[in-house]
Amino acid sequence: MEGSNYKETTNAEEFLEIFNEQKEKGEPWVAWFTSGHSEELGKLWCPDCVKTEESIKKGLEEHWADKFAVKAILATRDDWKGQTEHPYRTHESIQVDCIPTLIVYNGGEQKVKEKDENVLADEAKVQEILTSHV
């Protein structure tokens, strides 16, 4: 997934700048919160994120390519676990309490927040989330 409609960031400040820009535009956009790749494990450090990676990626490629999406990557486990004051947890319009989480915004407002890894691992359910909330 590449292009001007897709961004990845490991930086919370950069994400919040993107968040504010997208909120002002008022157009549909998606925020995908997931873990980073662990060299030690040879895969994403979050097992639930491993389970959902392909279905979310495919859903965005097939059903969201013409709209903006940002992948907020929590690079290491220590960046997330036990970090109760992390901006993704505390920001009033985000409030992510677990990863993976997929949030659809439209008109500057949150329309859906899905954090159930079983839902996010199901391609048909991801498609429904992406197509029915815009």
The full set of domains in the chain, from first to last, is: 6-132 (3.40.30.10)
In eight-state DSSP terms, residue 77 is G
The predicted structure's pLDDT at residue 86: 96
Contact 115, 97 (CB under 8 A): yes
The low-confidence residues of the chain, meaning pLDDT below 70, are: 1-4
- How many Cβ atoms are within 10 Å of 97's Cβ, its own excluded? 10
d(CA 45, CA 74): 9
d(CA 124, CA 55): 9
The predicted structure's pLDDT at residue 1: 58
The predicted structure's pLDDT at residue 3: 58
